Amino acid sequence: MNAPEPSKSPSPRARILAVTSGKGGVGKTFISANLAAALARRGLKVLVLDADLGLANLDVVLNLHPKVTLHDVFTGKATLEEALLSAPGGFSVLLAGSGLVEYSRLTPEVRDHLLSVIDQVTPRFDIVILDTGAGISDVVLYTISLAAEVLVVVTPEPTSMTDAYATIKVLALQQGRREMRLVVNQVPRVGDGRATAAQLQQVVDRFVSPAAGGAVTLTLLGDVPSDMGVREAVKKRRLLVETLPGSPAAQAVTALAAKLSP
Ligand SMILES: Nc1ncnc2c1ncn2[C@@H]1O[C@H](COP(=O)(O)OP(=O)(O)OP(=O)(O)O)[C@@H](O)[C@H]1O
Ligand SMILES: [Mg+2]
């Protein structure tokens, strides 16, 4: 893979996986959190970093009320150790703040702080999941550049597919990414994600690969059905894989974790 080196540490341990989508509200945070719990259940040491630095949601989904966030670490008010929290699913989290406009732009400070945090956590985990915000702002793109692997969450809706395509194109052309993984969320039936993935690959083959000077490949990690249980779990602020482990969406996320595991 042509991804940039995720860390300057001598022996980085964690696989760094950025979860992104272009379009907002398609399920990045739901998948990041539940995937983390499913991976933790497989014995992996997992960290989820809420990379939606100014409009964080992970704390809400996990019903955590952090006294210390990444913002405090970045501003020197707290140590990284104080910000690292245990989440209900048996994984660790670094939570972000909400309503912080200073993170809408990529400043040299934000860049350095993010890099430094990643450098410090990499040796301590097996997998670090970066749950990015929506869009392709500089902050989102920089966060993704710190990850060796990219997981694009898309739904079968044309607007989500258009935004996923735009994201994939930028990542191929700006970051030299040649392989990206897809999760098709909110499909009517398990298996329907294949059509969405094939459609996206077709446009990528036609318009992105020639411009990128080589084949850009999307690998379908799996799909996750639209499931009432997801909304119920979010409302209860519980992880779906814990509160409704037998539900279709929980089983699908568990299958994603199995495919991602070494
Ligand atoms: N498979 C699913 N079935 C049903 N509802 C879902 C599913 N996935 C996500 N949702 C709904 O979509 C909402 C938004 O999901 P989530 O917050 O994970 O999206 P996001 O991509 O992280 O959004 P943002 O771009 O704002 O960060 C969830 O609260 C849930 O109600
Ligand atoms: Mg989110």
Reduced DSSP (H G I as helix, E B as strand, rest coil) percent helix, strand, coil of the chain, to 5: 45, 20, 35
- 164 CB near ligand 1 (under 6 Å): no
Q: Which ligand is nearest to the CA of 61?
A: 1
- Domains of the chain (ranges; CATH) run 15-256 (3.40.50.300)
Closest ligand 1 atom to residue 228 Cα is 4
Both structure tokens of 208: 């992105």
User: Which ligand places an atom closest to the C-alpha of 229?
Assistant: 1
Q: 216 pLDDT band (50/70/90 cuts)? A: very high
Ligand 1 neighbour 230 (Cβ under 6 A): yes
Q: How many whole angstroms separate alpha carbon 107 and alpha carbon 105?
A: 6
Under DSSP, is residue 181 helix (H, G, I), strand (E, B) or coil?
A: strand
Question: Is the pTM value of this prediction over 0.85?
Answer: yes
pLDDT tens per residue, range 163-207: 999 999 999 999 999 999 999 999 999 999 999 999 999 999 999
Mutate to test the pocket of ligand 1, among 21, 23, 29, 154 (most ligand atoms within 8 A of CB): 29
pLDDT digits (tens, 9 = 90+) for 1-52: 444 554 444 456 899 999 999 999 999 999 999 999 999 999 999 999 999 9
Distance from the alpha carbon of residue 130 to the mean position of ligand 2, in angstroms: 10
Locate the ligand 1 atom nearest the alpha carbon of residue 33 and give its number: 18
* Tokens encoding 177: 């990414």
Q: How confident is the model at residue 105 (pLDDT cuts 50, 70, 90)?
A: confident
Q: Which pLDDT score, from 0 to 100, does residue 51 have?
A: 93
Q: Which amino acid is at 191?
A: G
- HSE-CB of 140 using CA atoms within 13 angstroms: 22
Q: What is the amino acid identity at position 27? A: G
Query: Does 186 contact ligand 1 (Cβ within 6 A)?
Result: yes
Which ligand sits nearest to residue 58's alpha carbon? 2
